[in-house]
A and B are shown apart, each in its own frame.
Chain A
Amino acid sequence: MSETKALKIHNLSKIFSFSVKDQRAGWMRNLLKPHTKAVKAVDDISFSVEHGEKIAFIGPNGAGKSTTIKMLTGILFPTSGSISVLGLDPTKDRKRLAYQIGTVFGQRSQLLPNLPLTDSLEFFGTMYDMPGKEIQKRMAELTHLFEMDSFIDQPVRKLSLGQRMRAEVAASLMHKPKIIFLDEPTIGLDVVAKKSLRDLLLKINRDEKTTIFLTSHDVGDIETLCDRTIIINHGVLIKDLPTQELSKTFAYEKYIDLIPEDRFSAFPELSAGMRYALKNEDKVTVMVDMTKMSLQEAMQKLLNIFRVEDIDAYNMDLETIIRHIYERDPDRQ
């Protein structure tokens, strides 16, 4: 590939329009001349992705994540802006692009439900015009890599959700795509299945240099899989930074846990710069705004108020950070 970027998105927007009922008008008018409303699902976003990067593309429900992925893969046509995926325009080169990308939608299966998994893998290989011998070789490779030996001959409908998701990812990798788009791949999986799927994706990224572009609500996916996080809300790109730096975003906020000697019976007013995050008889958590007060000062003040057996100070976890970012999305709530 001669192109320098795996993905290049410039001023991308997507507007959906639909009819809405006008409460003041009669049913006949609503039927014959409905009002239409336009919603900007994706609003002028731009970013690029290098080959081999692992990107988490996150945001709350309805933020525009899936719409963006669908435009990147050629499912939806953008209203405006430009997209280049491996140097191809998904709106014009759908078929050529399909040979080079893989997709997994966590809520949707691409497999043949009544036939053994081998048939689905063979189906994908044939669809991508792979020769018979190459299909067999790739199937053996993926079966080994994804540890699917125990269920490879079972009908897909009889697989557990964890097994099925592994099979979905394996099927989407049959043709060795350069980029894999995953939309909520760990949805509904238990912790063991989630870990197993994450490990496999890391392995594929390391061994085959596959670029990973993932949407997920699971912080574990973001933390363990992705080295860069792009946050979108209300269709607008609000953060694009290395995942490790996400925690620094709210470094000015610290949390202090207080465990009582016996039980906390009263919760007095706190000084400016501190607020209760949790008020329980057996545990109190206080959030400290470091721009207004040092950690040492906060601890001293708290120890003057409460008699404690144990005290612990820590940064906000990633899940809370992300929630804060969503909530602070400016002017769009």
Chain B
Amino acid sequence: MFKELRFALYAIKKNIQNNVELRTSFLMNVGGMAVNNIAFIILWVYFVKSVGVINGWTALDIIALQGFTALSYGLAYFLFAGIRKLPDYVATGGLDRFILSPKNLLLRIGTSWFVPSTLGDTLFGVICLVIYGIITSVTLYQIALMVLLIILSTIIFLGVSTAIYAMSLFFTDPESVTNSLYEIFLTPAIFHGGAFQGATRFFFTFIIPSLLVGALPVEIIRDISMSKLSILVALAIVWLIIPVAMFNKAIKKYESSNFMTFGS
């Protein structure tokens, strides 16, 4: 296990070096994503100020929501962006080279790619949570809770991605299907948390886990809610175990194709 993790970190380092070689593209990706996120949050803050508080959600909560989702998204794909390339690997036969490596297949795929914009997301997420923490004067206990919530949200991002992209092993044209499924998960995650009540809240918590990566962590920090934290921990474990089992089963369906590809 130690060897696997050490190689995974080494692969991430090499992928970063591989990307940094293309300096202009790298810097534009990082900076561009941070600017994009700032524009998005400005829009939401104006919206909340115009319509007022909805179901207890203030403009500050929206900043925390964007912070949690951006940071866990950034961390998940800073470490494991390769999982989002799985449909492409399946369609082109690029998956072959990972199967031929003597390493854990899922880890090898996950660490096979690096997306520079995830650094922009991570940076933006940290800034949002620092702003939220300063304005609401969070306690040390809340800071520790925030760290735990970020880890849980990151695990959920990784689990959901693995489950969605592993489905590409069952389809002939996997990219469009998996991208649509991913959007169904991600888009509600960055929406106003107060908009989800009753059935929609249940649906986007237990069926599509969008609220687990942003809205629920905000409410746990704001209300110090242990019951919600327990639900989040339980669901994070489920989203860690099931997708891995699903991937291991799905990989047996792989039918390698013969397109030309370049490595990583």
Q: Which residues of B contact A105 (CB under 8 A)?
A: 96-97
Q: Which residues of B contact A128 (CB under 8 A)?
A: 102
Q: Once the chains are docked, how many angstroms separate the CA of A96 from the CA of B103?
A: 9
Q: Does B141 contact A (CB under 8 A)?
A: no
Contacts A103-B100, A123-B14, A126-B10 known; A114 to B258 CB distance under 8 Å? no
Chain B interface size, as a band, is 20 to 34
Q: Once the chains are docked, how many angstroms separate the CA of A110 from the CA of B7?
A: 17
Q: Does B17 contact A (CB under 8 A)?
A: yes
Q: Does B49 contact A (CB under 8 A)?
A: no
Q: Does A185 contact B (CB under 8 A)?
A: no
Q: Once the chains are docked, how many angstroms separate the CA of A107 from the CA of B255?
A: 17
Q: Once the chains are docked, how many angstroms separate the CA of A18 from the CA of B257?
A: 13
Q: Which residues of A contact B93 (CB under 8 A)?
A: 108
Q: Which residues of A contact B97 (CB under 8 A)?
A: 105, 108, 110
Contact present for B263 and A111 (CB under 8 Å): yes
Total contacting residues, chain A, CB less than 8 A:
33
Contacts A70-B256, A95-B103, A107-B258 known; A127 to B96 CB distance under 8 Å? no
Contact present for A115 and B14 (CB under 8 Å): yes
Contact present for A76 and B254 (CB under 8 Å): yes
Contact present for A112 and B256 (CB under 8 Å): no
Q: Does B116 contact A (CB under 8 A)?
A: no
Contact present for B19 and A109 (CB under 8 Å): no
Contacts A75-B99, A76-B254, A108-B97 known; A113 to B3 CB distance under 8 Å? no
**What 1/0 mask marks residues of chain B from 242 to 256 whose CB sits below 8 Å from any chain A CB?**
000000000010111
**What 1/0 mask marks residues of chain A from 207 to 244 whose CB sits below 8 Å from any chain B CB?**
00000000000000000000000000000000000000
Q: Once the chains are docked, how many angstroms separate the CA of A16 from the CA of B252?
A: 13
B184 to chain A, nearest CB (A): 21
Q: Which residues of A contact B7 (CB under 8 A)?
A: 126-127, 129
Q: Does A99 contact B (CB under 8 A)?
A: yes
Contacts A109-B263, A114-B22, A127-B7 known; A74 to B17 CB distance under 8 Å? no
Contact present for B17 and A115 (CB under 8 Å): yes
Q: Does A66 contact B (CB under 8 A)?
A: yes
Q: Which residues of A contact B207 (CB under 8 A)?
A: none
**What 1/0 mask marks residues of chain B from 27 to 61 whose CB sits below 8 Å from any chain A CB?**
00000000000000000000000000000000000
B99 to chain A, nearest CB (A): 5
Contact present for B18 and A127 (CB under 8 Å): no
A175 — nearest CB in chain B belongs to which residue? B102
Q: Which residues of B contact A108 (CB under 8 A)?
A: 93-94, 96-97, 260-263
B102 to chain A, nearest CB (A): 4
Q: Which residues of A contact B17 (CB under 8 A)?
A: 115, 119
Q: Does A246 contact B (CB under 8 A)?
A: no
Per the 8 Å Cβ criterion, residues 216-246 of B in contact with A are none
Contacts A105-B96, A108-B93 known; A76 to B10 CB distance under 8 Å? no
Contact present for A110 and B256 (CB under 8 Å): no
Q: Does A60 contact B (CB under 8 A)?
A: no
B255 — nearest CB in chain A belongs to which residue? A16
Q: Does A98 contact B (CB under 8 A)?
A: yes
Q: Once the chains are docked, how many angstroms separate the CA of A18 from the CA of B171?
A: 11
**What 1/0 mask marks residues of chain A from 59 to 76 whose CB sits below 8 Å from any chain B CB?**
000000010001001111
Q: Which residues of A contact B11 (CB under 8 A)?
A: 123
Q: Once the chains are docked, how many angstroms separate the CA of A103 from the CA of B93?
A: 14
Q: Which residues of B contact A73 (CB under 8 A)?
A: 99-100
Q: Once the chains are docked, how many angstroms separate the CA of A127 from the CA of B262?
A: 18
Contact present for B252 and A113 (CB under 8 Å): no
Contact present for A70 and B96 (CB under 8 Å): yes
Q: Once the chains are docked, how many angstroms separate the CA of A261 from the CA of B262?
A: 56
Contact present for B19 and A114 (CB under 8 Å): yes
Q: Once the chains are docked, how many angstroms separate the CA of A77 from the CA of B105?
A: 15
Contact present for A98 and B101 (CB under 8 Å): yes
The answer, among A75, A101, A112, A155, for a CB contact under 8 Å with B96, is A75
A18 — nearest CB in chain B belongs to which residue? B172
Per the 8 Å Cβ criterion, residues 275-311 of A in contact with B are none
Q: Which residues of A contact B264 (CB under 8 A)?
A: 112-113
The answer, among B18, B99, B252, B255, for a CB contact under 8 Å with A112, is B18
Contacts A105-B96, A107-B258, A123-B14 known; A155 to B102 CB distance under 8 Å? no
Q: Which residues of B contact A123 (CB under 8 A)?
A: 10-11, 14
A14 — nearest CB in chain B belongs to which residue? B255
Q: Does B183 contact A (CB under 8 A)?
A: no
Q: Which residues of B contact A98 (CB under 8 A)?
A: 100-102
Q: Could you show 17 A-B contacts with beta carbons less than 8 Å apart?
A: A16-B255, A18-B172, A73-B100, A75-B99, A75-B256, A76-B255, A98-B101, A105-B96, A107-B258, A108-B260, A108-B262, A113-B262, A114-B22, A127-B101, A127-B103, A128-B102, A129-B102
Closest 4 CB pairs of A and B: A98-B102, A114-B21, A110-B263, A109-B263
Given pairs A99-B102, A113-B263, 10 additional interface contacts (CB within 8 A): A66-B258, A73-B99, A75-B100, A107-B260, A108-B261, A113-B262, A113-B264, A115-B14, A129-B3, A129-B102
